[in-house]
Amino acid sequence: MDKEVVKYALGGIDKILSKAKRALQEVEMEAFGGGDDLGSYESPTDAMAFHLEELYDHLLVVLEAALMEKTRTDLIARWAEFKKDENGLRNTKRFGDFDHFDSPPLEYIGRLVSALRMTVSNQISGEDAWNLARLEGMLEDTSNLVLGRGEPPANEAELQKIMHDYLRACFPDFVLNPKIGGTIKSFIPDCGIRDINAAIEFKIAHTKEEAVKAYSGIVEDTAGYKGSKDWTRFFAVIYQAKPFLPKSHLRSDMQRIKAATWTPILVNGETTRKSRLQKTKRKETKVVKTSRGIQ
């Protein structure tokens, strides 16, 4: 079984599956009443059959590419049985006395997709799942946390210092700059949370050019580093002064390059750029004040 094939196909399969479920829901609405404002199919039964056939065609390709010949053969056999029914893929059965319909082929496909998802998922404990969700939530809130500190960051060091303070307070296993050996080069992220095997990299972008450069650096890291048993999850945070890069593009690009263990997080927040002249003037001001104080 090629898990990578299944992993990257599940998103598209889920979209079609949700359409088939929506069509079945509208079949129930026509039979039992009710409705919502999500729009409707002209013929929900035909729409359900269409999406089921679409699911079948896609799964045949995915299972073949994933080298799951036995599962593919079983699917073909079951599908032939479903189509022998008088109503074919349009067949529905009422569930007891409830206002609910079951679709045998949809139920079968749903179980198959659920099993595929369980096969490729990395099972983690409930506590680890909670910590991962809390970590991702904090990283998504980077701009808000930075705002609470008052002065906007001027560079990555300032951004890192702010976020390191928050992460250190929330996660006992927080570590700075863990060195991770890679297949091509060693990777040294800004920080990490050891007990959930999560490494974090922060980038700051004042301009669109810097945002593109930051993203390019992340892509290089995903290619250069793979294979650690101790660090298996990676978060890349790009803090940009304006929405130079769209979030949807980052996530789709990560999927395209098959960086399954990397989660890109794009946030927008105020930044400030301190020039060398400004820094020099501040130092001079401090010297003058000190001299006056001595006099």
Per-residue pLDDT of the chain (295 residues; tens, 9 = 90+): 788 888 888 888 888 888 888 888 888 777 777 655 445 777 888 888 899 999 999 999 999 998 999 999 999 999 999 988 888 888 887 766 666 678 888 889 988 988 888 777 655 666 787 888 899 999 999 999 999 888 899 999 999 999 999 999 999 999 999 988 765 567 789 999 998 989 999 999 999 999 999 998 888 888 666 667 788 889 999 999 999 988 777 777 777 777 778 888 999 999 997 644 344 455 545 544 444 443 3
Select the CATH number that applies to the domain covering 126-275 from these four: 1.10.287, 3.30.70, 3.40.1010, 3.40.1350: 3.40.1350
CA dihedral of 109, 115, 120, 121, whole degrees rounded to 10: 110
Q: HEC string of the chain?
A: CCHHHHHHHHHHHHHHHHHHHHHHHHHHHHHHCCCCCCCCCCCHHHHHHHHHHHHHHHHHHHHHHCCCHHHHHHHHHHHHHHHHCCCHHHCCEECCCCCCEECHHHHHHHHHHHHHHHHHCCCCCHHHHHHHHHHHHHHHCHHHHHHCCCCCCCCHHHHHHHHHHHHHHHCCCEEECCCECCCCCCECCCEEEHHHCEEEEEEEECCHHHHHHHHHHHHHHHHHCCCCCCCCEEEEEEEECCCCCCHHHHHHHHHHCCCCCEEEEEEECCCCCCCHHHHHHHHHHHHHHHHHHHC
Q: Is the pTM of this model over 0.75?
A: no
Annotated domain spans of the chain = 3-120, 126-275
